[in-house]
Amino acid sequence: MGNGIQPADLRFFSVLAGAGSLGAAARELGVTTPAVSKHLALMERRLGVPLVNRTTRRMGLTPEGELYLAHARRILGEIDDLEQLLGTSRGTPTGLLRVNATLGFGRSHVAPLISDFARRHPQLEVQLQLSVNPPPLTDDAFDVCIRFGEPPDARVIARRLAPNRRLLCAAPAYLQRFGVPQLPQDLVAHRCIAIRQGDDAYGTWRLSTGKGMRARSETVKTRSHLATNDGEIAVAWALDGHGILMRSEWDIVRHLDSGRLVQVLPGWDTPAADIHAVVPQRLQLSSRVRAFVDFIAQDFAGLGASRTMRQPDRCNASPPSPPSTGAPT
């Protein structure tokens, strides 16, 4: 290419953006600061747009620079993948790894795992993005997405990491005051805490019980006394006795074990919410993706085993001397 984007510019700009300054980039590239400045000026002249806002102390990317960087890193990652697939690399995972996870689970579980993984693979650049909902596949926004429930479609490869259930729960104080629901339809008269996440209909809870010919299902439109898009906040409200909450077992198991929360309607199940690592099909052979998924799968295997060892009646215990089924006023 005589003009426009040069292949060597992609890695140069990725290093420059990661370094945060011309001087730091020069040290990382093993050249002088004027050489870095000249290379950047040549890039901007060829492209006809500014990529960097320069100040005396700091360097920031322009919107065009942000766009250039995102595509450069993706292309460099694909080049690294190709090299590793062809056996021409050093045999160790390299390049950029983009991980997506939900807000609460990403903070509490995925971020610490990435810290350990990055320590073992210092040659990798890892980006963690937390979001309420998984990004659409068409956005090309992740290499690995940690998500709950069944995989979205056949365009992805999904590996089950750990079992997980969504449980109904409430604080003993709430159940002591308003009564313990005995049937799903009793929930209609109770105060419930809603979490605005995912594609499920807001405030609609689907429950099932029994198997085969005895299987039954109920869909309940609850009355949301409080609502949020943050699971951690919802759990705090439940602990404060504000109502009944449906939440993943991973997030409330410690409160169930301690008795601060009590499972409600333990004989009824909610839709499957197992934890999966989802990978676009084109990345299933990427060494850095496989290394990360294998790493977290090993850790989650221990998480699932420890959960299986829990005594089931501990999370199904009833609060002390609750009144019969009632409803808040």
Please determine, for residue 305, whether its predicted confidence score (pLDDT) is greater than 50. no
Task: Select, from the ranges 20-24, 200-204, 236-240, 316-320, the one with the highest average predicted confidence (pLDDT).
Answer: 236-240
Q: Pairing state of beta strands 95-102 and 144-148?
A: parallel
263 SS3 class = strand
Please determine, for residue 324, whether its predicted confidence score (pLDDT) is greater than 60. no
Query: What CA–CA distance (Å, rounded) separates 58 from 42?
Result: 20
pLDDT at position 87 is 57
Backbone dihedral region of 172: left (phi > 0), alpha (psi from -120 to 50 degrees) or beta?
alpha
To the nearest whole percent, how much of the chain has pLDDT over 70?
Answer: 84
Q: What is the pLDDT averaged over residues 249-257?
A: 94
Using an 8 Å Cβ cutoff, are 202 and 196 in contact? yes
Query: What CA–CA distance (Å, rounded) separates 212 from 216?
Result: 9
Query: What CA–CA distance (Å, rounded) separates 105 from 195?
Result: 14
Domains of the chain: 7-85 (1.10.10.10), 95-163+274-308 (3.40.190.10), 166-270+311-315 (3.40.190.290)
Residue 257 burial (10 A CB sphere; 0-12, 13-18, 19+): middle
- Range with the lowest mean pLDDT among 81-85, 118-122, 152-156, 209-213? 81-85
Helices 22-29 and 33-47: angle between axes, nearest 10 degrees: 110
pLDDT at position 240 is 97
102 SS3 class = strand
Question: Length of the chain in residues, anyone?
Answer: 329
Q: What is the pLDDT averaged over residues 37-42?
A: 93
Would you tell me how many other CB atoms lie within 10 Å of the CB of residue 189?
A: 16
Please determine, for residue 212, whether its predicted confidence score (pLDDT) is greater than 60. yes
To the nearest whole percent, how much of the chain has pLDDT over 90?
Answer: 49
Maximum CA extent, the chain? 81
Please determine, for residue 278, whether its predicted confidence score (pLDDT) is greater than 80. yes
pLDDT at position 245 is 96
What is the per-residue pLDDT across 50-85, written as a single tens digit (0 to 9) for each? 999 876 566 889 999 999 998 988 888 777 777 666
Would you tell me how many other CB atoms lie within 10 Å of the CB of residue 153?
A: 7
Give the tokens for residue 38: 């000249």
Q: Concatenated DSSP letters for 266-302?
A: TT-B-S---EEEEEEGGGTT-HHHHHHHHHHHHHHHH
Q: Concatenated DSSP letters for 204-253?
A: EEEEEE--GGG-EEEEEE-EEEEEES-HHHHHHHHHTT--EEEEEHHHHH
Q: Concatenated DSSP letters for 105-169?
A: HIIIIIHHHHHHHHHH-TTEEEEEEEESSPPPGGG---SEEEEESS-S-TTEEEEEEE---EEEE
pTM given for the model = 0.68
**Radius of gyration of the CA atoms of the chain, in A:** 25
Of 243, 244, 263, 245, give the one whose Cα is nearest residue 253. 263
Query: pLDDT band at 238, cuts 50/70/90?
Result: very high
pLDDT at position 252 is 95
Using an 8 Å Cβ cutoff, are 95 and 288 in contact? yes
Residues 6+ apart with CB under 8 A from 327: 178, 179, 186, 189, 190
What is the per-residue pLDDT across 156-176, written as a single tens digit (0 to 9) for each? 889 999 999 999 999 999 999
- Range with the lowest mean pLDDT among 31-35, 89-93, 206-210? 89-93
Please determine, for residue 90, whether its predicted confidence score (pLDDT) is greater than 70. no
pLDDT at position 249 is 92
DSSP tag of 2: -
Using an 8 Å Cβ cutoff, are 197 and 273 in contact? no
Of 231, 275, 238, 272, give the one whose Cα is nearest residue 255. 238
